[in-house]
């Protein structure tokens, strides 16, 4: 199996693409984390249970 010489401009192009993708992923994860933190601050709606415990089997 032989390896071909890769033009010097191609690795920089790939590196640039990877950096852009990582930046976009980081931004998406930051937004997701912010949304998650905001939803964690709100109490989840709960269903009331009967005080006499009649819902127990």
Per-residue pLDDT 10s for the chain (57 aa) are 566 665 565 667 999 999 999 999 999 999 999 999 999 887 666 777 666 666 665
- How far CA 30 is from CA of 16, 25, 43, in Å, comes to 21, 8, 22
The values of phi and psi at residue 47, to 5°, are -95, 130
Are 55 and 49 in contact by the 8 Å Cβ rule? The answer is yes
pLDDT at residue 50, as a whole number: 66
d(CA 8, CA 20): 19
């Amino acid at each position: 199996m032989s390896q071909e010489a890769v033009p010097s401009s191609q690795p920089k192009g790939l590196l640039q693409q990877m950096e852009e993708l990582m930046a976009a992923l980081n931004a998406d994860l930051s937004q997701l984390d912010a949304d998650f933190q905001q939803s964690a601050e709100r109490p989840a709606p709960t269903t009331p249970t009967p005080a006499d415990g009649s819902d127990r089997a």
